Amino acid sequence: MQQYLELLDHLLTHGKDRPDRTGVGTRGVFGYQMRFNLQEGFPLLTTKKVHVKSIIHELLWFLSGSGNIAYLKKNGVTIWDEWADADGDLGPVYGVQWRHWRYNQQVRKSLGVVEVQIGEVDQIANLIRDLKSNPFSRRHIVSAWNPPLIPLMKLPPCHTLWQCYVEEVDKHTVPTLHLHLYARSIDSFLGLPFNIASYAFLLTMLAHVTDMDPGDLIISFGDLHLYKNHFAQAKEQLSREPRRLPLLCLPRRESIDQFSYDDFEIIGYNPHPAIKAPIAV
């Protein structure tokens, strides 16, 4: 994935040094964008080995609507351990907002009586319904940024909001589904390879349950940064030559909730060895 190496080089060369919440310090840029065409191969990093198992299980966990890491622990995934409390709770993070966005609203009745209605929104179910029934809508949006609940989240959402776009060449061609993610803050060495693969998996899943083909994954960044204790690892990665992208084999399902870990088959993944780096909490 040459796009990723260009991003690392851009950060090292043009980024500005900034303090940060963790105290480690970063070098970053604001407003960068990258694009991956899934028809050219699955965008899984080849200049270092990425732990695919963790990415898939995390995505399935998001889609389950849970804010507790019990599912991840059961499947040997530890990437959220540093943020969870003693009971495994993270608060109303990504999956909770995707599947259980809660609300209460005042509805004015006759004679001036006000009634409070309480409910929740399944953004994923609504998205899939609308992609099928009204594909050219400009409202295919899922948000994880719920301002009143941010203080209750152990880590506010980094990949904040995403939008889908349907492209149809003609009535005789299968439509193409594109996905554009906005990320407010991204750790480019440890987090971003996961985010790229995760949203590429998600785009493919959405395409398969709506009878479309996956197209472009576009990611726009707010604060894109490289931690200072990742500089050496980034330079080591830049010294490596990218290899051929693998292919994703994923069955079509009627519902996005029918996918399981065993459905995901990565063909031809031949990466360079992993590069370890400390995580900033």
Cβ atoms within 10 Å, residue 205: 23
Would you say residue 27 has pLDDT above 80?
Answer: yes
Percent pLDDT > 90 in the chain is 87
The predicted pLDDT at position 110 comes to 62
The predicted pLDDT at position 279 comes to 82
**pLDDT band at 134; cut points 50, 70, 90:** very high
Amino acid at 31: G
Q: Which tens digits make up the pLDDT trace of 58-91?
A: 999 999 999 999 999 999 999 999 999 999 999 9
Cβ atoms within 10 Å, residue 104: 8
Cβ atoms within 10 Å, residue 119: 9
Amino acid at 136: F
Q: Which of 60-69, 105-114, 167-176 tops mean pLDDT?
A: 60-69
Per-position DSSP letters for the chain, written without gaps between them: -HHHHHHHHHHHHH-EEE--TTSS-EEEEES-EEEEEGGG-----SSS---HHHHHHHHHHHHHT--BTHHHHHTT--TTTTT--TTSB--S-HHHHHH-EEEEEEEE-GGG-EEEEEEEE-HHHHHHHHHHH-TT-S--EEE---GGGGGGSSS--SEEEEEEEEE-S-TTS--EEEEEEEEEEEETTTHHHHHHHHHHHHHHHHHHHTT-EEEEEEEEEEEEEEEGGGHHHHHHHHTSPP----EEE----SSGGG--GGG-EEES--PPPP---PPP-
Decide: 275 and 261 in contact? Cβ < 8 Å.
Answer: no
The predicted pLDDT at position 99 comes to 97
210 or 21, which is more confident? 210
- Mean pLDDT over each residue of the chain, to the nearest integer: 94
User: Which residue, chain included where needed, has tokens 């389950």?
Assistant: 64
Residue ranges covered by each domain of the chain:
2-264
**pLDDT band at 112; cut points 50, 70, 90:** low
**pLDDT band at 105; cut points 50, 70, 90:** confident
Q: Taking residues 127-134, report their average pLDDT.
A: 98
- The number of residues making up the chain comes to 281
* Burial class of residue 160, CB neighbours in 10 A (0-12, 13-18, 19+): middle
Provide the whole-model pTM: 0.93
The predicted pLDDT at position 186 comes to 95
The predicted pLDDT at position 165 comes to 98
Helix axes 191-209, 2-14, angle to 10 degrees: 140
Structure tokens given for 164? 């889908």
281 or 186, which is more confident? 186
The predicted pLDDT at position 160 comes to 96
**pLDDT band at 269; cut points 50, 70, 90:** very high
* Burial class of residue 149, CB neighbours in 10 A (0-12, 13-18, 19+): middle
**pLDDT band at 103; cut points 50, 70, 90:** confident
CA distances to 2, 13, 123, 227 from 234, in Å: 14, 12, 36, 10
Q: Which tens digits make up the pLDDT trace of 215-253?
A: 999 999 999 999 999 999 999 999 999 999 999 999 999
With a CB cutoff of 8 Å and minimum separation 6, the contacts of 2 are: 242
The C-alpha torsion from 254 through 259 and 262 to 267, rounded to 10°, is 70
Q: Taking residues 172-198, report their average pLDDT.
A: 95
Name the CATH superfamily, with its identifier, for domain 2-264.
Thymidylate synthase/dCMP hydroxymethylase domain (3.30.572.10)
Q: Give the catalytic positions in this structure.
A: 158
Would you say residue 101 has pLDDT above 80?
Answer: yes
